[in-house]
Amino acid sequence: MKVTGYAYPWDVVDDPGFVERVRELGVDEVAVAVSYHSARAATPWSPERTSVVARHAALYRPVRDEAWGELKPAEPDWVESRDSAGDAVRTLTEAGIPAAAWIVLTHNSQLGTEFPDFTVRNCFGERYPWALCPGVPAVREYAANVTAESLAGLDFATVILEACGPLGAVHQHQHEKTDGVWSPAVARLLSICCCDDCLDAWVAAGQDPAKALGKLRAEVRRLIDSGDLRATEDKILPTLRQVLLDTRQNATDALRRAVLEKIPSGPRIVLHGAMDPWVTGALPGLTPSAPDDVDAVVLQNWAPGRPSVGAVEAARAKLPEKVAVGSYITAVAASPVPDIEAYTTELGKAGATELHLYHLGLAGPGRWADLIAAVSAAQEL
């Protein structure tokens, strides 16, 4: 299995032991966060601090005014360099370690707060400031510009696209207090975007937006009132279902095309995604045309067990042979994987040929053995 380890720019440039430690670990490449959302990131290898507080989404490359349209990312003032991602990539390149560009696209709470009309709006009219809507032309232009500016002047072996599609109702937002409250069906219905651009697409498909919104709201209310947390949306809104999915997928395809136009030939294109087309978030559902555009699809397999292994098997069976299947696993979960070596082996046997390993900076001395075990298992497959 090809092994990609993920890291933040400060993990590479602020830690003099990073390169040697990663070289000994034996990963094939390091994915550096070039455009990233807000976070409080632990720095267990630093002797001077315990964390970096990234207060808002930011681009870790120089932000040139002339490169942007209506939407422009913020610069991070919690790093010393205006080009900390570039510094990290150059450090890795000089050490002979291939670098991947880890680019987060539609997850930006700062821009979503500043430009609410460009965010996902649910059927109750509530905005999700963390979720820029791919159906909005300005958002697609922004994503394309982020990609171009992220890659400019640097040598990348791989480009990894995260949040290359819609985010929904359930995602990181301050202190999240929705987990386990809504059934999966409610969460998915609340993740359907009803912004003006998406409503225009409904009209083009022959739907009355007012009636469609009324149906959505009524169905959400019915499911909430029923108290059934096991309800699914499989049989919900049969007359609307295909129109809603087509609207989402058309917008996602348009976003991805705009982004791919900015990527020069050469790097591998890796897409974070899910086989279920209704999934939203950092790894959104694949559209039918997505596999034609990428070299690999990475699934989130953070929770060990049969569902994750089955997802890999399903992906390998459905995706074209030319598209690699990657498994995204974590060594820094609150509840560690009981046997990460065995789990990695299981994912490989299920059809994953890439291991995406989270996280080379967050995993400190207490978790480094798990990274070693995972890489060792991957190298034996």
Q: Give the pLDDT confidence of 247-295 residue by residue, as tens digits.
A: 999 999 999 999 999 999 999 999 999 999 999 999 999 999 999 999 9
In a domain, 234, yes or no: no
Structural domain contains residue 107: yes
3-class secondary-structure state, position 107 = strand
* pLDDT for residue 261: 98
Predicted confidence (pLDDT) per residue in 159-189, tens digit = 999 999 999 998 766 667 777 788 888 999 9
pLDDT (tens digit per residue) in 83-132: 999 999 999 999 999 999 999 999 999 999 999 999 999 999 999 999 99
Q: Does 185 reside within a domain?
A: no
- Rounded to an integer, the average pLDDT of 16-42 is 97
The answer to the question of residue 180 being in a domain is no
Q: Which two tokens stand for residue 339?
A: 């046997």
- Residue 172: the pLDDT is 63
| Short-list 340, 346, 349, CA closest to 374 | 340
C-alpha span between 140 and 118 (Å, rounded): 10
Spatial separation of the C-alpha atoms in residues 27 and 312, rounded to whole Å:
21
**Does the global pTM surpass 0.85?**
yes
CATH number assigned to the domain comprising residue 313: 3.20.20.80
Q: Is residue 196 part of a domain?
A: no
The domain tally of the chain equals 1
Q: What angle do CA 321, 161, 276 make, to 5 degrees?
A: 60
| 223 lies in some domain | no
Which structural domain, as residue segments, surrounds residue 272?
2-169+239-380
- The verdict on residue 197 lying in a domain is no
290 part of a folded domain: yes
